[in-house]
Structure 1
């Protein structure tokens, strides 16, 4: 296999070369690299993409056994992001999170897990049949938002459960807040325990002095990044990075073969190759416009009734109304009316994500929208449906046990019944309740429902939050375990 240079995109170039061969395709996909639509405009829009949408052929390599252009692209990505080995993901960070867990864990193995991880981590643990020891995160002093477990909690967990197969962390969070991962990694490595990090929102970390260090730079063994979230690849494209000797790389590669499609998308893979190339060709200039927009917006907010969370990641603008007259959900809706579509919102903050595609005029449009909203607030022309509150989810995290007993997450709950949300406290939850975004479960099946959780769910529902997993979309009712199944709760979560 020939080595490729950083300014090249070997996977993308291979696909372009293949499309120029004018071959007659008698292989999948069914569109045969042609736009099979009647509308000329649609044909023009999709035709270019379809020319590189191929399958595993003699000259297009194989994601599951790479030896040509895909292998070259993997090696270039590893060099770019500081890994020893990189694998492309066509199922988002979800695929990487599932694979790293399945590759490390056998059924019954104990795993140390940050409590406020993304649902894909929880799903991976359920599939693996692992016993989870949940670690309570510390709260950010600036906002009360949960981040990651403190070093004391990790050290205690490692001391109690030294046989654990891995420590699983998630950093940064949706708001751009990060943990100092290095001492957490060091604590786990003291017991030869690999550290797996869901760094979905931090693919750009370590690539510019304005950004925090990456999880790889902090010494993590397996790191999953959503390249599409904060860099320049297509949605659903991501990367899994590995380094060191503690993580079982062959087992993780095999898990990827099980988790990922046997017909992976070549356009998605090519977009990862191109995104990596632009980082290496443009260097720090790749991020300059987005960073400038971030600085301009933050400075201008001083003249408006809004403020941005002083996040570790400057490309995340988490904005709230200083007076609390608009909830984060309401501010999100008002911005969207004015053409600015935010990433997510909660009861307090509206979160906006910047990236390499951000333009200077985007920041100007955002500030104009915020100025219009401020004027409407002053004139009392806005209908205020609810008052923004503190992040009660994070407050509730602080009341949890720092290091839990081992619990196993079941994929199925045998028997549940429906009760009014107002009467749910004291019951055992029988379904997933996942505010989305950000996709961090507020309740797991089998978890006791507290008054604090009921209050938080009520506030989120009133403010317009959406919930995945809830059988009642309005959240007027919630599924709980029936009396006959409550005795099993210790093995569920």
Structure 2
């Protein structure tokens, strides 16, 4: 059925509610901002007036039958899915719902180890058993890339009882796996394919971008529309095909953790962002790609900097590349990515998406223009002049998959103790240690702690990296299993 993508049923209903000047005697208690004037004065009267509770004219997210349902159907059509669910707890909740829908306690799920922490948490919640696949490594850049169909096939052959395969599309730095071949392989063997498409919300709307999960035939994908599609932070989509999994099951899993007080600000932004992409996505992304390519070319003219891109595609674990991801290796000017990240924020008022040992990453999205991207390029050029040192030799980073000794769920519920980080070699980790962003664990629950892992954590601490996931916020100590 043809859908009119110009319609915004949920957003239009929220606006109609606003225009009626309803007198509220329900929650929230700020009553259209009158009980939170200092905040309302800053964010604006309209924002407070549409921060409302669920009601019949605005539908109910947990069981939508009218305007939310219509908005979700429009989004499903725009993204080539059978069904779409609006979510207000970010793509974290979508990833967890996907894993819980596909896996029962004890079921095996095959996934790359460079998955976001939400996948590990989804495994804990579901009780699934992870089978980690080694992603392809780019040791020059110090990052993990995609996975090959051959690696997935080998994992399936060794674990023929696996219920699901989980793929990242794209990685944080914009590289993708051969998703179509992986989906075909899995479906031939009766295995469900789940895709973390947090950074690929825009893939469906331009032919020069990598293939989206739904167009590749995946069973479910989680899409952070707020990351690259323009909706408000924390708003997300779960997309699905109904060939191998039931919509009612997925809805039940979502409702296990879904709030009964969903934000209409967040949901309305999903409705509008979907319309923008469906109606004007091609022309918008034409511009985004043009300025992204310009920035990459300009940065590659600067001695010592390398803005990497399509040239690293090899047809295997690096099958395609999203050119809106501007990753830059800064080791050639003597800086770590951690240092460059801080310098750009503190000295130039430029907020990058992340920094790691080698690289910094900028996300060029629907909200950027030539002016903003030129400011970024000018700041990076000046930083290269002012802060240049001798080139760094970063040595070998711990990019290989850690050894899994017990499942994350066993480790989560197991007896634990705290030990000094430097004394934890050989012990089994009982918490996760990760730099955020990107939120990919260096070591996580159930994995053996190695000397290399300890040294890498200590190095990140010297770089004043934001580390999270541990009870000791300074990570002088680490929690391990007590056996």
TM-score when scaled to structure 1? 0.89
Partners in 2 of 1:38 and 1:266 — Cα distance? 20
1:287 Cα deviation (Å)? Answer: 2.0
Provide, for residues 185-243 of structure 1, a one-character-per-residue CA deviation record: whole Å limited to 9, x for no partner: 11211121110111111111131122111111111100001000011100000000001
Alpha-carbon distance between aligned partners in 1 of 2:186 and 2:294, rounded to the nearest angstrom: 40
Q: Does the residue aligned with 1:201 lie in a helix, a strand or coil?
A: coil
Are the counterparts in 1 of residues 407 and 445 from structure 2 also a CA contact under 8 Å? no
2:263 matched residue in structure 1: 265
CA deviations on 1:348-371 (whole Å, 9 max, x unpaired) are 001111111112111121122122
Contact kept in structure 1, 2:62 and 2:255, CA below 8 Å: yes
1:17 corresponds to 2:26: no
**Which stretch of structure 1 is more off in the superposition, 312-321 or 24-33?**
24-33
In 1, Cα distance between equivalents of 2:156 and 2:406:
13
Shift of 1:162: 2.4
Task: Give the C-alpha shift of residue 335 in structure 1.
Answer: 1.1
Going from structure 1 to structure 2, the CA distance change for 1:142 and 1:290 (only over 3 Å counts) comes to: farther
1:393 maps to 2:398 = yes
Question: CA 1:355 to 1:242, structure 2 compared with 1: closer, same or farther past 3 Å?
Answer: same
* Structure 2 residue 458 is the aligned partner of structure 1 residue 448: no
1:348 to 358, 368, 385: 358
Q: Which moved more, 1:70-79 or 1:472-481?
A: 472-481
Counterpart-to-counterpart distance in 1, 2:245 and 2:453: 36
1:374 aligned partner:
384
CA–CA separation in structure 2 for the residues paired with 1:289 and 1:36 = 43
Check conservation: 2:416, 2:479, Cα contact below 8 A.
no
- Cα 1:245–1:390 shift into 2, 3 Å: farther
In structure 2, C-alpha distance between the alignment counterparts of 1:74 and 1:15, rounded to whole Å: 15
Which runs of structure 2 are paired with 1:159-178 in the superposition (5 Å)? 159-178=157-176
SS in 1 for 2:182: helix
Aligned residues: 470
Q: Which runs of 5+ in 1 are unaligned?
A: 486-493
State how far apart, in whole Å, the 1-side matches of 2:256 and 2:273 are. Answer: 26
Determine the C-alpha separation between the residues in 1 that align with 2:458 and 2:107. 36
Alignment partners' CA distance in 2, 1:57 and 1:354: 37
Displacement of 1:24 in angstroms is 1.9
Matches within 5 A, 1:4-403: 5-39=4-38, 42-43=40-41, 45-140=43-138, 143-305=141-303, 306-310=305-309, 312-321=321-330, 323-336=332-345, 337-377=347-387, 387=392, 389=394, 392-394=397-399, 396-397=400-401
Q: State the alpha-carbon separation in 2 of the partners of residues 161 and 10 from structure 1.
A: 45
Task: Using the TM superposition, give the Cα deviation of residue 89 of structure 1 relative to its aligned residue in structure 2, in angstroms.
Answer: 0.7
In the alignment, the residues of structure 1 paired with residue 2 and residue 263 of structure 2 have an alpha-carbon distance, to the nearest angstrom, of 23
Aligned to 1:434: 434
> Where do 5+ consecutive residues of structure 2 fail to align?
311-320
User: Following TM superposition, by how much is the alpha carbon of 1:44 offset from its aligned partner in structure 2, in angstroms?
Assistant: 6.4
423-432 vs 341-350, greater mean Cα deviation = 423-432
Conserved in 1, the CA contact under 8 Å of 2:146 and 2:175? no
1:115/1:136 contact within 8 Å kept? yes
Measure the CA separation in 2 of the matches of 1:144 and 1:387.
13
Name the CA distance, whole Å, in 2 between partners of 1:229 and 1:391.
Answer: 31
Query: Would you say the 8 A contact 1:36–1:43 is kept in 2?
Result: no
- SS of residue matched to 1:409: helix
SS at structure 2 position matched to 1:235: coil
User: Aligned runs of 1:406-445 on 2, under 5 Å?
Assistant: 407=407, 409-410=409-410, 411-421=412-422, 423-445=423-445
Q: Secondary structure at the match of 2:323?
A: coil
Check 1:301–1:44 CA distance in 2 against 1; reply closer, same or farther (3 A cut): closer
Deviation string, structure 1 residues 399-428 (Cα, Å, up to 9, x no partner): x67xx798452323312131242x432222
Q: Is the 8 A contact 1:118 1:440 kept in 2?
A: yes
SS of equivalent residue, structure 1 residue 459: helix
Q: Render the CA deviation track for 1:37-75: whole Å, top value 9, x for unaligned.
A: 344x94363311122222222211111211211111111
Question: After superposition, what is the alpha-carbon deviation per residue over 1:309-360, rounded to whole angstroms, capped at 9, x for unaligned?
Answer: 2151111111122525011011111211201110111010011111111121
2-side partners of 1:70 and 1:113: how far apart? 33
Bigger drift between 226-235 and 99-108 goes to 99-108
